[in-house]
Amino acid sequence: MNITNSCSSYRYTPQQIEEFFASDNGQMKEHFLEESICRPLIGKQIHKPYFHYCKICPKVENLHLESIEHHIKFKDPKRHKAKLLEMMQEEVHMDKDESKNGQDFTIRT
């Protein structure tokens, strides 16, 4: 199973993830996959355009991003949260190398 993620713009903290799972509401109403707090767990179907799926439960797929997030939040949330935190940490490591370059880029006037 390949669960690597090419995007590295994930910027939620473990605390935000905790809050997401603890709250009754999901994220803000309209958002893209890239902005989803569950993004590391959500994949896009290749053979079905616009379909999303849960990377832990590949059988769970839906046209609507919210439905996958709902699944992640309410169906076995402990398992999904643990995996999300795990994957998030991998992404943070990748981000570190990128931000190092960014900090050197300062403009002096």
- Out of 37, 42, 56, 65, name the contact with Zn ion by CB under 5 A: 56
Under the criterion CB under 5 A, does residue 87 sit at the interface with Zn ion? no
Please identify which residue in 38, 42, 54, 87 interacts with Zn ion, judged by CB under 5 A. Answer: 54
Q: How far is CA 50 from CA 44, 45, 61, 63, 78, in A?
A: 7, 7, 10, 6, 27
Write down the residue that tokens 């809050």 correspond to.
Answer: 19
- 61 or 90: whose CB is closer to Zn ion? 61
Is residue 70 a contact residue for Zn ion (CB under 5 A)?
no
Helix (H) or strand (E) holding 96: helix 77-104
Total number of residues binding Zn ion (CB under 5 A)? Answer: 3
Residue number with CB closer to Zn ion (82 or 94): 82
Q: Which is nearer to Zn ion, 47 or 78 (CB)?
A: 78
Tokens 């991998």 sit on residue: 90
Task: Pick between residue 86 and residue 95 the one whose CB is nearest to Zn ion.
Answer: 86
- Using rule CB under 5 A, residue 68 touches Zn ion: no
Q: What Å distances lie between residue 31 and 59, 89, 97, 102, 105, CA to CA?
A: 23, 23, 27, 27, 31
Q: Is residue 39 classed as helix, strand or coil in its secondary structure? A: helix
Task: Catalog residues that contact Zn ion under the rule CB under 5 A.
Answer: 54, 56-57
